[in-house]
Structure 1
């Protein structure tokens, strides 16, 4: 007859015992109305480790973007400005170099300005790097509501060309932009940031990335 232990939540000690293969074969753990035996738990842990390893590999090859909206850029909405064209060229080169270094997944926060420039650059680079993918991390459903027709068309074009769309909230909520920024950093190992140095969402995202120890490529304007 096997021994049973009732636990509300599996303590880390049990996982340590299982991981080091020290859990007696006759010892079962009861979770509520279910019983998990040693063999079952080992299979679950193996599957979880496989999944975790896959996620970690994905993160290692993922880059994200952060940058200002047009009104915070020196050229505002004038994308014909020589400074804007120069910045776009630098951003394109940074993404191209990241792809050459093995980054295959790119995440954009889909805001106007730098997020849009970066997303369009990734889509352009797909012809040279067919293995790269673009994820659109949308902070809330209806993000482009109220935008002018030109900006909406660009937004829809990016969505159509993307490989993955992640909507983080079904409606606007206080803090949803910050949640989007944390999502970017949590799921990436490289942040490509375009900044004037001004306080705001971009500086906060750079700070979070620095605290998490991920690589930061900063493009100053």
Structure 2
């Protein structure tokens, strides 16, 4: 049974997404929704993120939409440190504020601002230890920031009963083709 699923993936700039109107955002959200619906059949109760821009923001927004149909579905935002959003632009800060304000649970993992990269390592470990599975948008050929939690998840799976679900470029391509065929 998969009650708690951590979600992570690329940041917007890693995907070439520079505003929320990018059609790729809609496709990513559709794939996330499809995955969440499948996981709901497996007993999903919580989505857990660290509140990073990109896939994690979009996952929280999808949960907010799904809560109308699945009121028991909840999400937690657990940033690695205080004031994670401090250096973000105004629109990203507003999006973060909306996501954290509607979260069913919010708490930074450390009670101090950013100090060093170890806070991101600990965030990844925390997400894995406190979830039954990781849903990760990741492309093996591209790497990028999600490679760190992917590597940590691979190690974690060796010693624990844990599942890793990947959203790949092929998943996005198929969703885009389906969306296009629905249009016609």
TM-score, length-normalised on structure 2?
A: 0.81
Aligned to 2:179: none
The alpha carbon displacement at 1:165 in A equals 1.1
Aligned to 1:191: 134
Of residues 143, 165, 168 in structure 1, which corresponds to 2:109?
168
Separation in 2, partners of 1:118, 1:206: 18
Separation in 2, partners of 1:137, 1:160: 13
Aligned length in residues: 162
Gap runs ≥5 in structure 2: 170-184
Aligned to 2:182: none
Separation in 1, partners of 2:22, 2:12: 12
The alpha carbon displacement at 1:80 in A equals 3.0
Gap runs ≥5 in structure 1: 1-56
Of residues 74, 78, 100 in structure 2, which corresponds to 1:133?
74
Q: Which has the higher strand share?
A: 1
Separation in 1, partners of 2:145, 2:22: 24
8 Å contact from structure 2 (residues 9, 138) kept in 1? yes
8 Å contact from structure 1 (residues 107, 184) kept in 2? yes
The alpha carbon displacement at 1:128 in A equals 1.1
Which protein has greater RCO, CA pairs closer than 8 Å, 6+ apart? 2
> What does 1:134-149 correspond to in 2, within 5 Å?
134-149=75-90
1:76 aligns with 2:17: yes
1:216 aligns with 2:157: no
